Amino acid sequence: MSRNRLPQEEANGGTDAGQGSPARPTILDLAALCGVSPATVSNALAGKPNVKAQTRDLVLRKAREIGYHASSTARGLRMGRSWSIGLVVGDIANPFVPDVVRGVEDVVWRERKNLILCNTDFQAEKKTAYVRSLLDKQIDGMIVLSQILDDQDMERVEAAGIPLVTVNRRAPGHSCDYVGIDNQAGVRMAMDYLVSLGHRRIGFIKGLFRSSSADDRLAAYQEAVAAHGLDSDPSLVVQGDYSMESGDSATRNLMAAQRPTARPTAIVAANDLMALGALGALHDLGIKVPSDVSVVGFDNIQLAEHPLLNLTTINHPKRETGDSAARLLLQRIAGDRGDPPRSVILKPSLIVRGTSAPPSAAAVAKPRRRSASQPEKNQAEKKQAAGT
Amino acid sequence: MSRNRLPQEEANGGTDAGQGSPARPTILDLAALCGVSPATVSNALAGKPNVKAQTRDLVLRKAREIGYHASSTARGLRMGRSWSIGLVVGDIANPFVPDVVRGVEDVVWRERKNLILCNTDFQAEKKTAYVRSLLDKQIDGMIVLSQILDDQDMERVEAAGIPLVTVNRRAPGHSCDYVGIDNQAGVRMAMDYLVSLGHRRIGFIKGLFRSSSADDRLAAYQEAVAAHGLDSDPSLVVQGDYSMESGDSATRNLMAAQRPTARPTAIVAANDLMALGALGALHDLGIKVPSDVSVVGFDNIQLAEHPLLNLTTINHPKRETGDSAARLLLQRIAGDRGDPPRSVILKPSLIVRGTSAPPSAAAVAKPRRRSASQPEKNQAEKKQAAGT
DNA sequence: GTCCCGAGCTAAAACGTTTTTACTCCGTCC
DNA sequence: GGACGGAGTAAAAACGTTTTAGCTCGGGAC
């Protein structure tokens, strides 16, 4: 109806005698108010050089005055961006995750981008639906934490030209930026440390198969067993699923052996949650930690340092993980999409606390074979500060 | 350049001999492909009744075929919505928070809306900036967890007509939907339980002042002290800030009293984190829990049930909190904005675990005054299952 | 035969920006 | 005195939808 509206007529004026909110000002209102064209307002607000200082100041002043804020949606449509990045996690309630999220948020916030949190519950269809939704929203970039996307989703992301950073899981066959930790080094640290204490029979609670990090950690355990010539009974490796409960039951399995000498004197868990489960099980079984059995975790989640848990563990720099992922992503968004993919591999570190000690005299009384091979691999470890 | 393009010409065809992604199909492409107008395509996809079944089927088929997905941005601009809701939290790394977030995500996901996570770090300017950003994005609604917004921010949200649900903190002077827990009942449960065990001298670690929940919990403590005629030494109430460290130092303060009888036989903390801090401090001080001192927390965070912590606490239904908040918000979004504000007050429950027991004989040996008044307030509590 | 109506579709406006192109001064250079 | 150029601004196109208003066509009522 209001075709051909006069230049001075306020775009929002007049007609809203009705109810509800007074319809926030558009750039047209602001332009009319300043007596310039919308284009000039846009340029002024964007700080473009082709607008007279006097005009710019006027625009800025009036803008502040009426509280003008450009519609993200409109500029998003025009510019093909959304100033938000998608963060796909499996389970935000897992204590490992929020710390990483915190790291991501911190750097994303600096560029005033928003974080869209997608909790997939590790369900394939939820993952797919979320990825679709993110693409529909024209997100600037995407971070996928501790899981991999289907090939089809992956292709969609690539086809859309959306930068993607994967964290903790490599996407096989796809090249994108990656942030992870040196899993092998971490487990090796734990193993070398336990060996230096005198342990020869070390159990391992592995994580879910089909995940690169779980594989890496298990492989590192096996390599360490071989390198140090430790007992390599297959019953020393038990399956967990990264949950506390699984750590509990895995430990009961480990300790169920009839002959006491068949039981491990130390347990390494592929993550802290399972290690805490192990502590719980051992407590229930009346097995003393660390005097009877040592326990070492992986991740160093927040509560691991509680005096009553006091878990010896491998530190996973969680916040730094999120930080690096976000940085990589932002660089990729700003810079050339064609650059070769980059990886950031963070360094684990050993944090010695109260759940580890030399094995009891009884346990080491009966030395098995003496592997004569590794004289140089003694103890490069020392007690490290808990601060990472 | 391509002014006046012919109706049959594909909107995306021809010109992109260049590099990069092949530009996802628009509704124009789809319309051309189906030989109908964009309006019809839109109607067909939206399931409007004014399109012939045959046409609709064709459109749906072709849409699937070329993988057409409408741009969220474009329809957002047109429809004034964004299908995303803002979730403002103080610190996602606080173990209480992710569980609530999980609850929110769950119901929001059912409507295929997205969650924009805003971590304010409790900084006023970050809070303000995030709220601004959310409004610019035309979010459908907003949930604010465990904090209050400035009056100015609040007004902006109201002016924008964006539904808002506050969780755990009432916004004084503003009427909006609210989800919380009955703090008073929770603390009363804890106090009644401890009294029923025989405790007469109970310390309280309060949370940050200036927060309604902290006030409520403190008030409930004081009421219980009065109602049961307990020792009401002001030194029995110490300040914490909801962190584990503060629980630690607060407990050291409580236990620093020279005369043993001046020390509490039980400690109630305004949240689990501080309770865990208390456990740590007591452990360090060589004070046995629960034989020397009982400890009761509030929230029942995930790790509280670990066998080595085994914290007696008041359960705060966290996931249900997020669930209710999201439900309230979605109803408000869908329904009439003018309806009177609603509140959901969740019920706390006592979870008895290992950190509580009757006071030691030594501590109760010297009964102080016998308050003759409350015979009916004996023990309405019984050991409850930890499930809640 | 005319009128009306509904079914099915299209044209075009609208959403609120940014960006490209074009225009208007005005001073300077030749 | 006209051409040129640059500074500052304006007009209009573009982004990809949804929605409103209007069009066309055929059939039924009168």
The answer to whether the C-beta of A36 is closer than 7 A to strand D is: yes
Query: What is the per-residue pLDDT for A338?
Result: 83
Q: Which residues in chain B are closer than 8 Å to A84, comparing Cβ atoms?
A: 116, 137
Q: Are residues B93 and A93, on separate chains, in Cβ contact within 8 Å?
A: no
Give the number of other CB atoms < 10 A from CB of residue B163. 23
Residue A56 to residue A37: CA distance in whole angstroms: 12
Please check whether residue A136 is in contact with residue A156, taking contact to mean a CB–CB distance below 8 angstroms.
no
Rg (CA), chain A: 28
Looking at CA atoms only, how far is residue B338 from chain A in angstroms? Answer: 10
Query: What is the per-residue pLDDT for B70?
Result: 97
Residue B4: how many CA atoms within 13 Å on its side-chain side?
A: 0
Q: Are residues B92 and A114, on separate chains, in Cβ contact within 8 Å?
A: no
Query: Which residue lies nearest C15, CA-to-C1' measured?
Result: B78
Q: Which of B82, B295, B306 is the mutation pick for testing A, counting most A CBs within 10 A?
A: B306
Domain boundaries, chain B: 1-70, 82-181+319-345, 183-317+348-364
- Identify nearest nucleotide to residue A3 by CA to C1′ distance: C13
Please check whether residue B193 is in contact with residue B356, taking contact to mean a CB–CB distance below 8 angstroms.
yes
Give the number of other CB atoms < 10 A from CB of residue B10. 15
What Cα–Cα distance (Å) separates residue A25 from each residue in A13, A31, A46, B238? 10, 10, 17, 50
pLDDT over 90 percentage in chain A: 79
Lowest mean pLDDT among A264-268, A382-386, B251-255, B260-264: A382-386
For residue B140, the 8-state DSSP code is S
| Three-state DSSP class for residue B266 | strand
Q: What is the pLDDT of residues A216-258, one digit of tens each?
A: 999 999 999 999 999 999 999 999 999 999 999 999 999 998 8
Query: What is the per-residue pLDDT for A5?
Result: 37
Using 70 as the pLDDT threshold, list the residues of chain B that sit under it.
Answer: 1-21, 362-388
Query: What is the per-residue pLDDT for A374?
Result: 43
Residue B88 to residue B120: CA distance in whole angstroms: 7
Give the pLDDT band of residue A51 (cuts 50, 70, 90): very high
Which residues make Cβ contacts (< 8 Å) with residue A168, sequence separation at least 6? A145, A146, A179, A180, A181, A213, A321
Residue B257 to residue B248: CA distance in whole angstroms: 16
Residue B129 to residue A2: CA distance in whole angstroms: 35
Lowest mean pLDDT among A192-206, A338-352, A361-375, B210-224: A361-375
Of residues A285, A308, A287, the one with CA closest to residue B303: A308
Instruction: Report residue B91: phi and psi, to 5°.
Output: -150, 105
Residue A365: how many CA atoms within 13 Å on its side-chain side?
A: 6
β-pairing, A349-351 with B84-89? Answer: unpaired
Q: Regarding the domain delimited by A183-317+348-364, which CATH topology (the fold level of the hierarchy) does it fall under? A: Rossmann fold (3.40.50)
Considering the segment(s) B82-181+319-345 as one domain, its CATH architecture is 3-Layer(aba) Sandwich (3.40)
Query: What is the per-residue pLDDT for B175?
Result: 87
Please check whether residue A224 is in contact with residue A191, taking contact to mean a CB–CB distance below 8 angstroms.
yes
Q: What is the pLDDT of residues B252-288, one digit of tens each?
A: 999 998 888 889 999 999 999 999 999 999 999 999 9
Rg (CA), chain B: 29
Query: What is the per-residue pLDDT for A21?
Result: 59
Query: What is the per-residue pLDDT for B337?
Result: 83
Residue A381 has pLDDT above 50, yes or no: no
- 101-120 in chain B: CB under 8 A from chain A: 101-102, 105, 109, 112, 114-119
Q: What is the pLDDT of residues A116-175, one digit of tens each?
A: 999 999 999 999 999 999 999 999 999 999 999 999 999 999 999 999 999 999 988 898
Residue A281 to residue B272: CA distance in whole angstroms: 23
Residue A304 to residue A301: CA distance in whole angstroms: 6
Q: Regarding the domain delimited by A82-181+319-346, which CATH topology (the fold level of the hierarchy) does it fall under? A: Rossmann fold (3.40.50)
Residue A162 to residue B314: CA distance in whole angstroms: 46
For residue B305, the 8-state DSSP code is G
Is A134 exposed, middle or buried (CB count within 10 Å of its CB: 0-12, 13-18, 19+)?
buried
Residue B362 to residue B356: CA distance in whole angstroms: 16
Report the sign of the C-alpha dihedral through residues A269, A272, A274, A278, in that order.
Answer: positive
User: CATH classification of A1-70 is 3.30.420.40, yes or no?
Assistant: no
For residue A123, the 8-state DSSP code is -
Fold match, A82-181+319-346 / A183-317+348-364: yes
